[in-house]
Structure 1
Amino acid sequence: MKLKPYFFSFFFLFFLSVASAQQDSLLVTPEKKSKRELKREQREKEYEPYNALAPAKAAFYSAVLPGLGQAYNGSYWKIPIAYAGIGTGIAYYLHNDKEYDSYRNAYKDRLAGRPDEYEGRISTEGLIRAQELFQKNKEISILVTVGVYVLNIIDANVEAHLRQFNVDEDLSVKPGLDFDALTGKTNYGLTLNYRF
């Protein structure tokens, strides 16, 4: 029964925190404001003026160093995705380049009459086809790497634009449910709210 001291101390701390929370809620404010006024004041505190150069800065930062534009926007979780995409493209390029060089050297050795590592296993036509395959894969991996790099820049630019987009409740379209007390049916609809 060693749990009793922990049990009692836990409940003591719990009741102490509840009592302090109740004490804080009993504080009287000198002036009571409506919820609408409080929301408006909160929006005014959070309001940042529109910065027209923010998207250009984010795109420039991502062009200089991939992921830097995402850090500028505050989306740190996207940085590893950008580096994983670029790193994967580079890794595939290096692998295909190594294989291409291997088959090319074997093909040159075979044309010069020297023994090669694929002798007896792959024909000369097979060496040519392997070179073409790995050359094509190198080009595709370059395109993928450049594509991920460009997407990194576009993502930083678009996110910087969207971060400045106004999404407050003054203009909203919401689905609405209305319960009719006379008939007992529920009416569905959309409400368009626009407040000044």
Structure 2
Amino acid sequence: MLRILFILFFTFCGSQSIFSQEELKLTVRDSVKNEKNNVLAPSKAAFYSAVLPGLGQAYNKKYWKIPIVYAGLGTGIYFYADNNKKYHRFRDEYKKRLNGTSDSNDPYFGNLDNSRIIDGQKFYQRNRDLSVLVTAAIYILNIVDANVDAHLMQFNVNENLSLKPDLYQNEMDYKHNIGLTLNYNF
């Protein structure tokens, strides 16, 4: 009796592993042939976005995201350039004051003392540096978005995975109850 159970157990386990390996081979072949399930797509999309911002979004066929990427990068670059220009204006005025060549009738800097000039210089320098960090964060976010979006394109959402409302009758008091059913079929 024990011998029969032992043979049945190994036969059952052996047949299950054979079937699972066969299915795995088919899945790998199908994913290589099927462009939608290309396992290299996320790394390609990230690489394309790193080379040229927005190119990964175009690779993923999410064209509506490209203007958002360029608007974010353009805004960061604009604020960097503006703050850098103002920083240099304050720095140059401070240098002129140290050399004694400053114009006291200047409409912009004439009413400011040296401490205000230094404060303005520090303010615009801090904002310039912050603009660089924000622009770099938008660039990195562009790459991450392309990578994640390419991964999510491989996510399978169909009728085999669904969440539906359900109305059922309680067996204890025969009242109707409302619930949610999660269906997941392999």
Aligning the two structures, in what range does the TM-score lie when normalised by the shorter sequence?
A: 0.7 to 0.9
1:81 alignment partner, one of 68, 83, 105: 68
User: 1:152: how far off?
Assistant: 0.4
**What is the alpha-carbon distance in structure 2 between the residues aligned to residue 177 and residue 166 of structure 1?**
27
Distance 1:48 1:119, change over 3 A: closer
SS at match of 1:121: coil
In structure 1, what is the equivalent of residue 88 of structure 2?
Answer: 101
Corresponding letter in the other structure for 1:124: N
**What is the alpha-carbon distance in structure 2 between the residues aligned to residue 49 and residue 109 of structure 1?**
63
In structure 2, what is the equivalent of residue 164 of structure 1?
Answer: 154
**What is the alpha-carbon distance in structure 2 between the residues aligned to residue 194 and residue 147 of structure 1?**
38
User: 1:168: how far off?
Assistant: 1.0
In structure 2, what is the equivalent of residue 110 of structure 1?
Answer: 97
Q: Report how many residues are paired.
A: 148
TM-score (norm 1): 0.69
In structure 2, what is the equivalent of residue 92 of structure 1?
Answer: 79
SS at match of 2:37: coil
SS at match of 1:93: helix
Unaligned segments of structure 2, at least 5 residues: 1-33
SS at match of 1:115: coil
SS at match of 1:74: coil
RMSD of aligned residue pairs (Cα, Å) = 2.0
**What is the alpha-carbon distance in structure 1 between the residues aligned to residue 163 and residue 109 of structure 2?**
72
2:37 alignment partner, one of 50, 53, 62: 50
1:134 alignment partner, one of 124, 142, 150: 124
TM-score (norm 2): 0.73
Corresponding letter in the other structure for 1:161: H
Distance 1:177 1:136, change over 3 A: same
Unaligned segments of structure 1, at least 5 residues: 1-46
Distance 1:67 1:103, change over 3 A: same
In structure 1, what is the equivalent of residue 54 of structure 2?
Answer: 67
SS at match of 1:191: strand
Distance 1:119 1:49, change over 3 A: closer
SS at match of 1:167: coil
C-alpha distance after superposition, 1:49-87 (max 9, x if no partner) = 521100000000000000000011011110000000000
**What is the alpha-carbon distance in structure 2 between the residues aligned to residue 154 and residue 132 of structure 1?**
33
Distance 1:137 1:64, change over 3 A: same
Corresponding letter in the other structure for 1:171: L
In structure 2, what is the equivalent of residue 150 of structure 1?
Answer: 140
